[in-house]
Amino acid sequence: MTEKNVSENFITQIIDTDLESGKHQDIVTRFPPEPNGFLHVGHVKSICLNFGLAEDYQGVCNLRFDDTNPAKESVEYAQSIQRDVEWLGFKRDKEVRYSSDYFDQLYTYAQELIEKGLAFIDEQTAEEIRENRGDFTHPGVNSPHRGRPRSESMDLFRRMKAGEFEDGKMVLRAKIDMQSGNLNMRDPIIYRIKRQHHIRTGDKWCIYPMYDFTHCISDALEGITHSVCTLEFADHKPLYDWVLDNISIGCHPHQIEFNRLNQTFTIISKRKLIELVEEGVVDGWDDPRMPTVSGMRRRGYTPQSIREYAKKSTVTKKPSIIPMSTLEDCVRQELNTIAPRVMGILRPLKVVIENYPEGESEMIVAKNHPMDESFGNREIPFARELYIEADDYKENANRKFFRFTEGREVRLRYAYYLTCQRAIKNDAGEVIELRCTYDPETKGGSSPDGRKVKGTIHWVSAQHADDVELRLYDRLYNEKSPKGMDNLNDNSLEILESAKIEPNIINNSEGIRYQFERMGYFYRDKIHETNKPIFNRIVTLRDSWAKLEQ
Protein backbone atom coordinates (compact mmCIF):
# COMPACT_ATOMS: atom_id res chain seq x y z
CA MET A 1 0.00 0.00 0.00
CA THR A 2 1.38 3.41 -1.00
CA GLU A 3 2.08 5.69 1.94
CA LYS A 4 -0.21 8.70 2.10
CA ASN A 5 1.13 12.21 1.75
CA VAL A 6 -1.39 13.47 4.29
CA SER A 7 -2.18 11.74 7.58
CA GLU A 8 -5.85 11.25 8.38
CA ASN A 9 -7.44 14.41 9.76
CA PHE A 10 -10.75 16.24 9.79
CA ILE A 11 -10.24 17.43 6.19
CA THR A 12 -9.68 13.92 4.86
CA GLN A 13 -12.80 12.87 6.76
CA ILE A 14 -14.81 15.61 5.02
CA ILE A 15 -13.45 14.53 1.63
CA ASP A 16 -14.20 10.87 2.35
CA THR A 17 -17.79 11.76 3.24
CA ASP A 18 -18.19 13.90 0.09
CA LEU A 19 -16.93 11.07 -2.12
CA GLU A 20 -19.04 8.43 -0.41
CA SER A 21 -22.19 10.54 -0.67
CA GLY A 22 -21.60 11.27 -4.35
CA LYS A 23 -21.31 15.01 -3.77
CA HIS A 24 -18.03 14.86 -5.68
CA GLN A 25 -16.57 12.26 -8.00
CA ASP A 26 -13.15 13.89 -8.23
CA ILE A 27 -11.12 16.09 -5.90
CA VAL A 28 -9.72 19.43 -7.03
CA THR A 29 -7.65 21.61 -4.69
CA ARG A 30 -5.43 24.63 -5.23
CA PHE A 31 -2.41 26.41 -3.78
CA PRO A 32 -2.92 30.16 -4.36
CA PRO A 33 0.13 32.22 -3.27
CA GLU A 34 0.54 35.91 -4.00
CA PRO A 35 3.76 36.50 -6.01
CA ASN A 36 4.99 39.18 -3.58
CA GLY A 37 7.82 37.26 -1.92
CA PHE A 38 9.52 33.90 -1.68
CA LEU A 39 7.76 30.89 -0.18
CA HIS A 40 8.61 30.22 3.46
CA VAL A 41 8.25 27.35 5.89
CA GLY A 42 4.72 28.52 6.74
CA HIS A 43 3.69 27.88 3.13
CA VAL A 44 5.17 24.40 3.14
CA LYS A 45 2.33 22.91 5.17
CA SER A 46 -0.26 24.36 2.79
CA ILE A 47 1.67 23.15 -0.26
CA CYS A 48 2.06 19.65 1.14
CA LEU A 49 -1.58 19.55 2.26
CA ASN A 50 -3.17 20.79 -0.97
CA PHE A 51 -0.91 18.91 -3.37
CA GLY A 52 -0.78 15.92 -1.04
CA LEU A 53 -4.57 15.63 -0.84
CA ALA A 54 -4.80 15.79 -4.63
CA GLU A 55 -2.22 13.00 -4.99
CA ASP A 56 -3.78 10.84 -2.27
CA TYR A 57 -7.23 11.05 -3.90
CA GLN A 58 -5.95 10.87 -7.50
CA GLY A 59 -7.23 14.38 -8.04
CA VAL A 60 -5.76 17.67 -9.24
CA CYS A 61 -4.15 20.59 -7.42
CA ASN A 62 -3.87 23.90 -9.28
CA LEU A 63 -1.00 26.28 -8.66
CA ARG A 64 -2.69 29.65 -9.01
CA PHE A 65 -1.08 33.00 -8.39
CA ASP A 66 -3.24 35.59 -6.65
CA ASP A 67 -1.88 38.50 -8.68
CA THR A 68 -4.40 41.20 -7.79
CA ASN A 69 -1.97 43.61 -6.11
CA PRO A 70 0.50 44.59 -8.86
CA ALA A 71 2.37 47.10 -6.69
CA LYS A 72 4.04 44.30 -4.69
CA GLU A 73 4.29 41.51 -7.25
CA SER A 74 7.09 40.48 -9.60
CA VAL A 75 8.00 37.84 -12.17
CA GLU A 76 10.99 36.90 -10.01
CA TYR A 77 8.71 35.98 -7.14
CA ALA A 78 6.39 33.98 -9.40
CA GLN A 79 9.32 32.04 -10.87
CA SER A 80 10.78 31.33 -7.43
CA ILE A 81 7.44 29.95 -6.22
CA GLN A 82 7.16 27.59 -9.20
CA ARG A 83 10.73 26.43 -8.65
CA ASP A 84 10.11 25.78 -4.94
CA VAL A 85 6.91 23.79 -5.52
CA GLU A 86 8.63 21.61 -8.11
CA TRP A 87 11.71 21.14 -5.89
CA LEU A 88 9.48 19.93 -3.07
CA GLY A 89 8.43 17.15 -5.42
CA PHE A 90 4.95 18.16 -6.49
CA LYS A 91 3.95 18.00 -10.14
CA ARG A 92 1.15 19.97 -11.72
CA ASP A 93 -1.24 18.31 -14.14
CA LYS A 94 -2.00 21.64 -15.80
CA GLU A 95 -0.31 24.93 -16.56
CA VAL A 96 0.15 27.52 -13.85
CA ARG A 97 -2.95 29.66 -13.39
CA TYR A 98 -3.33 33.29 -12.43
CA SER A 99 -6.21 35.25 -10.95
CA SER A 100 -5.52 37.74 -13.74
CA ASP A 101 -6.70 35.04 -16.17
CA TYR A 102 -10.18 35.84 -14.85
CA PHE A 103 -10.11 39.64 -14.78
CA ASP A 104 -12.72 39.92 -17.55
CA GLN A 105 -15.05 37.47 -15.83
CA LEU A 106 -14.54 39.13 -12.46
CA TYR A 107 -15.48 42.47 -13.97
CA THR A 108 -18.65 40.92 -15.39
CA TYR A 109 -19.61 39.40 -12.04
CA ALA A 110 -19.07 42.75 -10.34
CA GLN A 111 -21.50 44.32 -12.80
CA GLU A 112 -24.00 41.57 -12.00
CA LEU A 113 -23.88 42.52 -8.31
CA ILE A 114 -24.49 46.16 -9.24
CA GLU A 115 -27.46 45.19 -11.43
CA LYS A 116 -28.92 43.21 -8.51
CA GLY A 117 -28.51 46.15 -6.15
CA LEU A 118 -25.85 44.28 -4.19
CA ALA A 119 -22.94 46.60 -4.95
CA PHE A 120 -22.50 50.37 -5.21
CA ILE A 121 -19.87 52.98 -5.97
CA ASP A 122 -18.65 54.78 -2.86
CA GLU A 123 -16.86 58.13 -3.09
CA GLN A 124 -15.84 58.39 0.54
CA THR A 125 -12.15 58.68 1.26
CA ALA A 126 -10.27 55.66 2.52
CA GLU A 127 -10.12 57.26 5.97
CA GLU A 128 -13.89 57.88 6.02
CA ILE A 129 -14.62 54.32 4.97
CA ARG A 130 -12.31 53.00 7.67
CA GLU A 131 -13.87 55.24 10.34
CA ASN A 132 -17.46 54.47 9.34
CA ARG A 133 -16.79 50.77 9.27
CA GLY A 134 -16.87 50.64 13.08
CA ASP A 135 -15.14 48.01 15.16
CA PHE A 136 -15.93 45.00 17.32
CA THR A 137 -17.79 47.16 19.85
CA HIS A 138 -19.38 49.70 17.51
CA PRO A 139 -21.59 48.96 14.49
CA GLY A 140 -20.76 50.42 11.11
CA VAL A 141 -22.38 53.49 9.56
CA ASN A 142 -23.92 53.32 6.11
CA SER A 143 -22.12 55.24 3.39
CA PRO A 144 -24.00 58.30 2.15
CA HIS A 145 -23.67 56.73 -1.31
CA ARG A 146 -25.16 53.36 -0.33
CA GLY A 147 -28.54 54.28 -1.80
CA ARG A 148 -27.07 55.43 -5.11
CA PRO A 149 -29.18 54.26 -8.07
CA ARG A 150 -27.94 51.09 -9.74
CA SER A 151 -27.66 52.77 -13.10
CA GLU A 152 -25.46 55.50 -11.65
CA SER A 153 -23.17 52.98 -9.92
CA MET A 154 -22.95 51.01 -13.16
CA ASP A 155 -22.02 54.10 -15.14
CA LEU A 156 -19.36 55.11 -12.61
CA PHE A 157 -17.94 51.60 -12.47
CA ARG A 158 -17.55 51.50 -16.25
CA ARG A 159 -15.93 54.92 -16.19
CA MET A 160 -13.57 53.69 -13.45
CA LYS A 161 -12.51 50.93 -15.81
CA ALA A 162 -12.08 53.43 -18.64
CA GLY A 163 -9.62 55.40 -16.51
CA GLU A 164 -11.65 58.59 -16.03
CA PHE A 165 -10.92 58.90 -12.31
CA GLU A 166 -7.71 59.22 -10.34
CA ASP A 167 -6.54 56.60 -7.86
CA GLY A 168 -8.52 56.64 -4.63
CA LYS A 169 -11.37 58.72 -6.03
CA MET A 170 -13.94 55.94 -5.59
CA VAL A 171 -14.33 52.22 -4.95
CA LEU A 172 -16.90 49.53 -5.62
CA ARG A 173 -18.34 48.07 -2.42
CA ALA A 174 -20.58 45.07 -1.84
CA LYS A 175 -23.86 45.98 -0.15
CA ILE A 176 -24.26 43.49 2.69
CA ASP A 177 -24.73 44.54 6.34
CA MET A 178 -23.03 47.41 8.15
CA GLN A 179 -24.45 46.07 11.44
CA SER A 180 -22.83 42.65 11.06
CA GLY A 181 -20.70 41.37 13.90
CA ASN A 182 -18.26 40.18 11.23
CA LEU A 183 -16.29 43.20 10.03
CA ASN A 184 -15.65 41.49 6.70
CA MET A 185 -19.38 41.67 5.94
CA ARG A 186 -19.67 45.44 6.49
CA ASP A 187 -19.95 46.44 2.85
CA PRO A 188 -16.43 45.29 1.89
CA ILE A 189 -14.54 46.95 -0.96
CA ILE A 190 -14.41 44.65 -3.98
CA TYR A 191 -12.75 46.94 -6.59
CA ARG A 192 -10.36 49.89 -6.35
CA ILE A 193 -8.58 52.16 -8.80
CA LYS A 194 -4.84 51.44 -8.99
CA ARG A 195 -2.74 52.63 -11.89
CA GLN A 196 0.05 50.10 -11.62
CA HIS A 197 1.76 48.06 -14.31
CA HIS A 198 0.79 44.41 -13.94
CA ILE A 199 3.30 41.59 -14.45
CA ARG A 200 0.95 39.82 -16.89
CA THR A 201 -1.74 42.21 -18.12
CA GLY A 202 0.55 45.21 -18.45
CA ASP A 203 -1.45 48.46 -18.47
CA LYS A 204 -4.74 46.98 -19.69
CA TRP A 205 -6.43 47.51 -16.34
CA CYS A 206 -6.46 50.48 -13.99
CA ILE A 207 -8.95 48.86 -11.61
CA TYR A 208 -8.19 45.69 -9.71
CA PRO A 209 -10.44 43.34 -7.71
CA MET A 210 -9.82 42.71 -4.04
CA TYR A 211 -8.66 39.32 -2.78
CA ASP A 212 -11.92 38.28 -1.09
CA PHE A 213 -13.90 38.93 -4.26
CA THR A 214 -11.31 37.34 -6.55
CA HIS A 215 -10.42 34.24 -4.60
CA CYS A 216 -13.83 32.61 -4.30
CA ILE A 217 -14.73 33.26 -7.95
CA SER A 218 -11.38 31.93 -9.14
CA ASP A 219 -11.97 28.79 -7.08
CA ALA A 220 -15.42 28.36 -8.59
CA LEU A 221 -14.25 28.96 -12.18
CA GLU A 222 -11.61 26.26 -11.72
CA GLY A 223 -14.07 23.78 -10.23
CA ILE A 224 -12.27 23.59 -6.90
CA THR A 225 -14.07 21.13 -4.65
CA HIS A 226 -12.28 21.86 -1.37
CA SER A 227 -10.75 25.30 -0.85
CA VAL A 228 -8.30 24.56 1.96
CA CYS A 229 -6.87 27.62 3.71
CA THR A 230 -5.48 28.66 7.08
CA LEU A 231 -7.46 29.73 10.14
CA GLU A 232 -7.10 33.48 9.60
CA PHE A 233 -9.52 33.13 6.67
CA ALA A 234 -12.31 31.66 8.82
CA ASP A 235 -13.85 35.11 9.32
CA HIS A 236 -13.73 35.62 5.55
CA LYS A 237 -15.77 32.49 4.82
CA PRO A 238 -19.20 34.22 5.11
CA LEU A 239 -18.06 36.70 2.44
CA TYR A 240 -16.67 33.85 0.32
CA ASP A 241 -20.07 32.17 0.42
CA TRP A 242 -22.03 35.41 -0.01
CA VAL A 243 -20.29 36.31 -3.26
CA LEU A 244 -20.82 32.86 -4.78
CA ASP A 245 -24.44 32.74 -3.61
CA ASN A 246 -25.21 36.05 -5.32
CA ILE A 247 -23.65 35.63 -8.78
CA SER A 248 -24.59 33.36 -11.67
CA ILE A 249 -21.94 30.69 -11.29
CA GLY A 250 -22.43 26.95 -11.24
CA CYS A 251 -19.86 25.87 -8.67
CA HIS A 252 -19.64 26.55 -4.96
CA PRO A 253 -16.41 25.20 -3.41
CA HIS A 254 -16.29 24.24 0.25
CA GLN A 255 -13.84 26.48 2.15
CA ILE A 256 -12.13 24.57 4.97
CA GLU A 257 -9.76 26.23 7.43
CA PHE A 258 -6.85 24.54 9.22
CA ASN A 259 -4.07 25.64 11.59
CA ARG A 260 -1.11 27.26 9.89
CA LEU A 261 2.46 26.15 10.51
CA ASN A 262 4.06 28.39 13.13
CA GLN A 263 7.60 27.62 14.26
CA THR A 264 9.71 28.63 17.23
CA PHE A 265 12.69 30.98 16.70
CA THR A 266 11.11 32.00 13.39
CA ILE A 267 9.31 34.96 11.87
CA ILE A 268 7.39 34.29 8.66
CA SER A 269 5.83 37.69 8.09
CA LYS A 270 6.66 38.64 4.49
CA ARG A 271 7.00 42.27 5.54
CA LYS A 272 9.64 41.38 8.10
CA LEU A 273 11.39 38.96 5.77
CA ILE A 274 11.62 41.71 3.16
CA GLU A 275 13.05 43.98 5.86
CA LEU A 276 15.80 41.43 6.59
CA VAL A 277 16.73 41.38 2.90
CA GLU A 278 16.53 45.14 2.32
CA GLU A 279 18.47 45.98 5.52
CA GLY A 280 21.26 43.58 4.55
CA VAL A 281 20.85 41.42 7.66
CA VAL A 282 20.90 38.45 5.29
CA ASP A 283 22.38 38.18 1.82
CA GLY A 284 19.08 37.56 0.05
CA TRP A 285 15.88 35.54 0.10
CA ASP A 286 17.93 32.35 -0.24
CA ASP A 287 20.23 33.07 2.69
CA PRO A 288 20.52 29.70 4.52
CA ARG A 289 19.34 31.36 7.74
CA MET A 290 16.07 32.48 6.15
CA PRO A 291 12.95 30.36 6.74
CA THR A 292 12.31 30.36 2.99
CA VAL A 293 12.17 27.23 0.86
CA SER A 294 14.99 28.72 -1.23
CA GLY A 295 17.07 29.27 1.90
CA MET A 296 16.48 25.73 3.12
CA ARG A 297 17.39 24.35 -0.30
CA ARG A 298 20.64 26.36 -0.43
CA ARG A 299 21.51 25.31 3.10
CA GLY A 300 21.20 21.66 2.08
CA TYR A 301 17.86 20.53 3.49
CA THR A 302 16.27 17.77 1.41
CA PRO A 303 12.74 18.06 0.01
CA GLN A 304 11.89 14.71 1.61
CA SER A 305 12.81 15.96 5.09
CA ILE A 306 10.77 19.13 4.65
CA ARG A 307 7.74 17.17 3.50
CA GLU A 308 8.10 14.85 6.47
CA TYR A 309 8.22 17.89 8.74
CA ALA A 310 5.01 19.24 7.22
CA LYS A 311 3.39 15.88 7.75
CA LYS A 312 4.28 16.01 11.46
CA SER A 313 2.43 19.32 11.79
CA THR A 314 -0.99 18.08 12.83
CA VAL A 315 -3.92 19.38 10.77
CA THR A 316 -6.53 20.68 13.22
CA LYS A 317 -8.69 23.72 13.94
CA LYS A 318 -6.50 24.66 16.89
CA PRO A 319 -3.55 27.07 16.48
CA SER A 320 -0.21 25.53 17.33
CA ILE A 321 3.51 26.24 17.24
CA ILE A 322 6.12 23.63 16.34
CA PRO A 323 9.65 23.54 17.76
CA MET A 324 12.30 24.33 15.15
CA SER A 325 14.11 21.28 16.51
CA THR A 326 11.37 19.11 14.95
CA LEU A 327 12.38 20.36 11.52
CA GLU A 328 16.06 19.86 12.29
CA ASP A 329 15.38 16.34 13.57
CA CYS A 330 13.59 15.49 10.32
CA VAL A 331 16.62 16.75 8.41
CA ARG A 332 19.03 14.76 10.61
CA GLN A 333 17.04 11.56 10.22
CA GLU A 334 17.07 11.88 6.45
CA LEU A 335 20.75 12.81 6.24
CA ASN A 336 21.81 10.06 8.62
CA THR A 337 20.56 7.61 6.02
CA ILE A 338 21.72 9.23 2.79
CA ALA A 339 24.89 11.17 3.67
CA PRO A 340 28.30 9.54 3.08
CA ARG A 341 30.85 10.12 5.83
CA VAL A 342 34.08 12.04 5.26
CA MET A 343 36.56 13.87 7.48
CA GLY A 344 36.81 17.62 7.58
CA ILE A 345 38.66 19.90 9.99
CA LEU A 346 36.89 23.12 10.96
CA ARG A 347 39.68 24.74 13.01
CA PRO A 348 42.96 23.08 12.06
CA LEU A 349 45.76 22.32 14.51
CA LYS A 350 48.88 20.82 12.98
CA VAL A 351 50.23 17.48 14.21
CA VAL A 352 53.72 16.19 13.39
CA ILE A 353 54.34 12.44 13.94
CA GLU A 354 57.99 12.47 14.82
CA ASN A 355 58.62 8.72 14.35
CA TYR A 356 56.78 8.48 11.03
CA PRO A 357 59.17 8.36 8.01
CA GLU A 358 59.64 11.74 6.36
CA GLY A 359 58.52 12.02 2.74
CA GLU A 360 56.39 8.88 2.92
CA SER A 361 52.63 8.36 2.90
CA GLU A 362 50.19 5.47 2.77
CA MET A 363 46.52 4.88 2.07
CA ILE A 364 44.08 4.20 4.88
CA VAL A 365 40.82 2.38 4.13
CA ALA A 366 37.70 4.07 5.53
CA LYS A 367 34.00 3.26 5.38
CA ASN A 368 31.75 5.67 3.52
CA HIS A 369 28.84 4.82 5.81
CA PRO A 370 29.27 2.81 9.02
CA MET A 371 25.66 1.58 8.96
CA ASP A 372 25.27 0.82 5.25
CA GLU A 373 27.82 -1.36 3.49
CA SER A 374 26.32 -0.49 0.08
CA PHE A 375 28.12 2.86 0.31
CA GLY A 376 31.42 1.00 0.04
CA ASN A 377 34.87 2.14 1.15
CA ARG A 378 37.36 4.83 0.20
CA GLU A 379 41.08 5.35 0.60
CA ILE A 380 42.47 8.34 2.51
CA PRO A 381 46.14 9.42 2.40
CA PHE A 382 48.04 9.34 5.68
CA ALA A 383 51.42 11.06 6.18
CA ARG A 384 53.80 12.45 8.79
CA GLU A 385 51.98 15.80 9.09
CA LEU A 386 48.27 15.94 9.84
CA TYR A 387 45.57 18.37 10.86
CA ILE A 388 43.20 17.72 13.74
CA GLU A 389 40.54 19.88 15.39
CA ALA A 390 42.04 22.49 17.70
CA ASP A 391 39.43 21.52 20.31
CA ASP A 392 40.82 17.99 20.37
CA TYR A 393 43.81 19.20 22.39
CA LYS A 394 43.69 20.57 25.91
CA GLU A 395 46.68 21.44 28.01
CA ASN A 396 46.87 19.67 31.38
CA ALA A 397 43.52 17.98 30.78
CA ASN A 398 41.95 15.78 33.46
CA ARG A 399 41.11 12.10 33.01
CA LYS A 400 37.61 12.85 31.72
CA PHE A 401 39.06 14.51 28.62
CA PHE A 402 39.66 11.58 26.27
CA ARG A 403 41.42 13.48 23.49
CA PHE A 404 44.95 14.87 23.22
CA THR A 405 46.94 16.18 26.13
CA GLU A 406 50.60 15.58 26.95
CA GLY A 407 51.34 11.89 27.45
CA ARG A 408 47.89 10.68 26.43
CA GLU A 409 47.26 8.11 23.69
CA VAL A 410 44.41 8.70 21.25
CA ARG A 411 43.05 6.71 18.33
CA LEU A 412 42.98 8.36 14.90
CA ARG A 413 39.86 7.31 13.05
CA TYR A 414 40.68 4.30 10.75
CA ALA A 415 44.44 4.89 11.25
CA TYR A 416 46.80 4.52 14.25
CA TYR A 417 47.20 5.17 17.94
CA LEU A 418 49.04 8.46 18.55
CA THR A 419 50.56 9.76 21.77
CA CYS A 420 50.96 13.49 22.30
CA GLN A 421 54.50 14.24 23.47
CA ARG A 422 54.48 18.02 23.65
CA ALA A 423 52.80 21.18 22.35
CA ILE A 424 54.57 23.99 20.55
CA LYS A 425 53.40 27.51 21.25
CA ASN A 426 53.89 30.87 19.55
CA ASP A 427 55.07 34.04 21.26
CA ALA A 428 51.52 34.74 22.42
CA GLY A 429 51.37 31.44 24.23
CA GLU A 430 48.95 29.87 21.75
CA VAL A 431 49.35 26.21 20.80
CA ILE A 432 50.18 26.05 17.08
CA GLU A 433 51.49 22.49 16.72
CA LEU A 434 51.54 19.12 18.47
CA ARG A 435 54.47 16.75 18.40
CA CYS A 436 53.37 13.14 18.62
CA THR A 437 54.52 9.55 18.12
CA TYR A 438 52.54 6.69 16.63
CA ASP A 439 52.40 2.96 17.17
CA PRO A 440 52.83 1.31 13.72
CA GLU A 441 51.27 -1.91 15.07
CA THR A 442 47.86 -0.27 15.53
CA LYS A 443 46.91 0.38 11.93
CA GLY A 444 43.15 0.21 11.50
CA GLY A 445 42.51 1.46 15.01
CA SER A 446 43.23 -1.52 17.25
CA SER A 447 46.23 -2.75 19.22
CA PRO A 448 47.61 -6.31 18.99
CA ASP A 449 48.31 -6.28 22.72
CA GLY A 450 44.69 -5.49 23.47
CA ARG A 451 45.21 -2.14 25.17
CA LYS A 452 42.20 0.15 25.05
CA VAL A 453 42.04 3.78 24.05
CA LYS A 454 38.94 5.77 24.95
CA GLY A 455 39.35 8.72 22.61
CA THR A 456 38.89 8.62 18.82
CA ILE A 457 39.33 11.75 16.71
CA HIS A 458 39.23 12.61 13.02
CA TRP A 459 42.09 14.02 10.96
CA VAL A 460 43.30 14.85 7.45
CA SER A 461 46.72 14.68 5.87
CA ALA A 462 48.25 18.16 5.77
CA GLN A 463 49.95 17.43 2.47
CA HIS A 464 46.86 16.07 0.71
CA ALA A 465 43.95 18.01 2.27
CA ASP A 466 41.96 20.54 0.27
CA ASP A 467 41.31 24.09 1.47
CA VAL A 468 37.66 25.04 1.84
CA GLU A 469 35.52 27.70 3.41
CA LEU A 470 32.91 26.46 5.85
CA ARG A 471 29.85 28.44 6.85
CA LEU A 472 28.28 27.48 10.15
CA TYR A 473 24.68 28.61 10.39
CA ASP A 474 22.62 28.93 13.51
CA ARG A 475 19.17 30.28 14.27
CA LEU A 476 18.55 33.77 13.00
CA TYR A 477 16.78 34.77 16.21
CA ASN A 478 17.79 34.06 19.79
CA GLU A 479 14.26 34.27 21.20
CA LYS A 480 11.73 31.45 21.09
CA SER A 481 8.99 33.88 20.05
CA PRO A 482 10.88 36.65 18.23
CA LYS A 483 9.30 40.00 17.40
CA GLY A 484 11.81 41.39 14.96
CA MET A 485 15.24 42.97 14.62
CA ASP A 486 15.70 43.33 18.39
CA ASN A 487 15.81 39.55 18.76
CA LEU A 488 18.48 38.79 16.15
CA ASN A 489 21.13 36.22 17.02
CA ASP A 490 24.53 37.89 16.55
CA ASN A 491 26.11 34.45 16.17
CA SER A 492 23.82 33.13 13.44
CA LEU A 493 26.73 32.85 10.98
CA GLU A 494 30.36 31.92 11.49
CA ILE A 495 32.69 31.76 8.49
CA LEU A 496 35.74 29.50 8.74
CA GLU A 497 38.17 30.35 5.96
CA SER A 498 40.99 27.95 6.88
CA ALA A 499 39.10 24.68 7.04
CA LYS A 500 40.48 21.48 5.51
CA ILE A 501 38.79 18.40 4.06
CA GLU A 502 40.12 15.10 2.84
CA PRO A 503 40.93 14.94 -0.90
CA ASN A 504 38.56 13.78 -3.67
CA ILE A 505 35.51 15.35 -2.04
CA ILE A 506 35.34 18.67 -3.87
CA ASN A 507 35.20 17.07 -7.31
CA ASN A 508 32.51 14.64 -6.17
CA SER A 509 30.26 17.06 -4.30
CA GLU A 510 27.57 17.84 -6.86
CA GLY A 511 24.22 17.40 -5.15
CA ILE A 512 25.74 15.30 -2.34
CA ARG A 513 25.22 16.02 1.32
CA TYR A 514 28.12 14.83 3.47
CA GLN A 515 28.54 14.14 7.12
CA PHE A 516 31.82 15.55 8.31
CA GLU A 517 32.44 13.06 11.08
CA ARG A 518 31.78 14.53 14.54
CA MET A 519 31.17 17.98 13.01
CA GLY A 520 27.77 17.87 11.35
CA TYR A 521 26.25 17.64 7.88
CA PHE A 522 27.52 19.84 5.06
CA TYR A 523 26.43 20.79 1.54
CA ARG A 524 28.41 22.60 -1.13
CA ASP A 525 27.23 26.13 -1.95
CA LYS A 526 28.81 26.18 -5.38
CA ILE A 527 26.75 28.98 -6.89
CA HIS A 528 28.05 31.47 -4.28
CA GLU A 529 31.73 30.54 -4.46
CA THR A 530 34.46 33.00 -5.39
CA ASN A 531 37.99 32.06 -4.25
CA LYS A 532 37.57 28.55 -2.88
CA PRO A 533 34.90 25.86 -2.42
CA ILE A 534 32.22 26.73 0.15
CA PHE A 535 30.34 24.18 2.22
CA ASN A 536 27.34 25.16 4.33
CA ARG A 537 26.67 23.29 7.53
CA ILE A 538 23.16 21.98 7.09
CA VAL A 539 22.65 20.93 10.68
CA THR A 540 24.71 19.78 13.63
CA LEU A 541 24.79 16.13 14.67
CA ARG A 542 22.89 16.94 17.85
CA ASP A 543 20.40 19.57 18.90
CA SER A 544 22.08 22.22 21.05
CA TRP A 545 18.87 24.24 21.55
CA ALA A 546 16.69 21.53 23.10
CA LYS A 547 16.43 23.15 26.55
CA LEU A 548 15.27 26.45 25.04
CA GLU A 549 12.48 24.69 23.14
CA GLN A 550 10.85 23.46 26.34
Q: Is 531 exposed, middle or buried (0-12, 13-18, 19+ CB in 10 A)?
A: exposed
Rounded Cα distance, 219 and 348, in Å: 58
Q: Which helix (H) or strand (E) holds 60?
A: strand 60-65
Query: Taking a C-beta distance cutoff of 8 angstroms, is the pair 361, 465 a contact?
Result: no
Rounded Cα distance, 313 and 300, in Å: 21
Catalytic residue among 45, 237, 260, 307: 260
pLDDT in tens, the chain (550 residues): 578 889 999 999 999 999 999 999 999 999 999 999 999 999 999 999 999 999 999 999 999 999 999 999 999 999 999 999 999 999 876 789 999 999 999 999 999 999 999 999 999 999 999 999 999 999 999 999 999 999 999 999 999 999 999 999 999 999 999 999 999 999 999 999 999 999 999 999 999 999 999 999 999 999 999 999 999 999 999 999 999 999 999 999 999 999 999 999 999 999 999 999 999 999 999 999 999 999 999 999 999 999 999 999 999 999 989 999 999 999 999 999 999 999 999 999 999 999 999 999 999 999 999 999 999 999 999 999 999 999 999 998 888 898 999 999 999 999 999 999 999 999 999 999 999 999 999 999 888 988 889 999 999 999 999 999 999 999 999 999 999 899 999 999 999 999 999 999 999 999 999 999 999 999 999 999 988 999 999 999 988 665 555 5
Q: Is 270 marked active-site?
A: yes
Strands (E), 266-376: 321-322, 341-342, 344-345, 348-353, 361-367
Query: Which pTM value belongs to this model?
Result: 0.92
Phi-psi region of 134 (alpha: psi -120 to 50; beta: other; left: phi over 0): left
Catalytic residue among 150, 270, 347, 518: 270
- The architecture of the domain spanning 264-338+468-550 is Orthogonal Bundle (1.10)
Domains in the chain: boundaries = 104-210, 264-338+468-550, 343-461
CA distances from 289 to 248, 434, 494, 532 (A): 48, 36, 12, 21
Q: Is 524 marked active-site?
A: no
Q: Is 260 marked active-site?
A: yes
Q: In CATH terms, is domain 343-461 a member of 2.40.240.10?
A: yes
Query: Taking a C-beta distance cutoff of 8 angstroms, is the pair 501, 263 a contact?
Result: no
Assess whether the region 264-338+468-550 and the region 343-461 belong to the same CATH fold. Answer: no
Superfamily covering domain 104-210: Glutamyl-tRNA Synthetase; Domain 3 (3.90.800.10)
Rounded Cα distance, 176 and 184, in Å: 10
Query: Taking a C-beta distance cutoff of 8 angstroms, is the pair 209, 189 a contact?
Result: no
Q: % helix / strand / coil in the chain, to the nearest 5?
A: 30, 25, 45
Catalytic residue among 34, 257, 328, 517: 34
